[in-house]
């Protein structure tokens, strides 16, 4: 019985000291948040190569944690217009950008004459059509009327959750190897 009490006290002391160290070191370990820049609408950022799948988890209400995948990228399952869609969360992308094939699966079909925005993608220059997404949700974070682009067929490797969504959140940061989104 005495051994159990000693081990319990040692465990409590260990975690108390650990919590103090983490709280003291955490501010110095956090990188500065990336600057939010909005280039001209005709030159959205190019997407990164297609990422490997990663599992995202939600902790507190209106906070969503996305661990980095093996390539250091952040991917998550996002609900767009009520349909699940696997997306790369990209703070370097000015727009939420949907692959043409993903947009079609969501029932979003821009007219051929709508593809007027010139974009740079991993596959080179292409055109995209501006659209407004009624609802975009990741975990418990839900936004309405999100500006987005739909790329020409074959122009993009992956859909992007970019700054037209992320800039409307109260916080976007990297902590302990995860991208943390706060509503």
Domain boundaries, the chain: 1-30, 57-182
What's the rounded mean pLDDT across residues 158-181? Answer: 94
Residue 57: CA count within 13 A, CB half-sphere: 5
CA 124 to chain centre: 23
List the end-to-end C-alpha distance of the chain, in Å, as a whole number: 48
Provide the mean pLDDT of the chain. Answer: 78
Per-residue pLDDT tens digits for 145-154: 999 999 999 8
**CATH, domain range 57-182:** 2.40.70.10
Give the mean model confidence (pLDDT) for residues 82-109: 95
Q: Is 26 helix (H, G, I), strand (E, B) or coil?
A: helix
What three-state secondary structure class fits 21? helix
**pLDDT for residue 28 is more than 80:** no
- The answer to whether 127 and 19 have CB atoms below 8 angstroms apart is no
Tell me the DSSP string of 50-89: PPPP---EE-STTEEEEEB-TTS-EEEEEEETTEEEEEEE
Six-digit token pair at 95? 């727009």
- Number of separate helices (H) and strands (E) present in the chain: 3, 11
The alpha-carbon radius of gyration of the chain (Å, integer) is 20
């Amino acid at each position: 019985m005495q051994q159990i009490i000693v081990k319990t006290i040692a465990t409590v002391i260990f975690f108390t000291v650990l919590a103090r160290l983490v709280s003291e070191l955490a501010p110095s370990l956090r990188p500065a948040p990336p600057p939010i820049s909005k280039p001209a609408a005709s030159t959205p950022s190019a997407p990164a190569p297609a990422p490997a799948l990663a599992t995202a988890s939600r902790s507190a209400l209106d906070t969503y944690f996305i661990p980095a995948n093996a390539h250091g990228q952040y991917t998550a399952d996002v609900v767009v217009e009520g349909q699940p869609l696997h997306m790369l969360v990209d703070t370097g992308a000015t727009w939420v950008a949907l692959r043409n094939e993903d947009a079609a699966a969501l029932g979003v079909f821009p007219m051929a004459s709508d593809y007027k925005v010139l974009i740079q993608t991993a596959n080179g220059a292409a055109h995209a059509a501006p659209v407004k997404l009624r609802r975009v949700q990741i975990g418990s974070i839900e936004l309405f009327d999100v500006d987005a682009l739909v790329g020409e067929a074959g122009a993009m490797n992956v859909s992007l959750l970019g700054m037209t969504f992320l800039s409307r959140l109260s916080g976007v940061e990297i902590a302990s190897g995860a991208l943390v989104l706060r509503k």
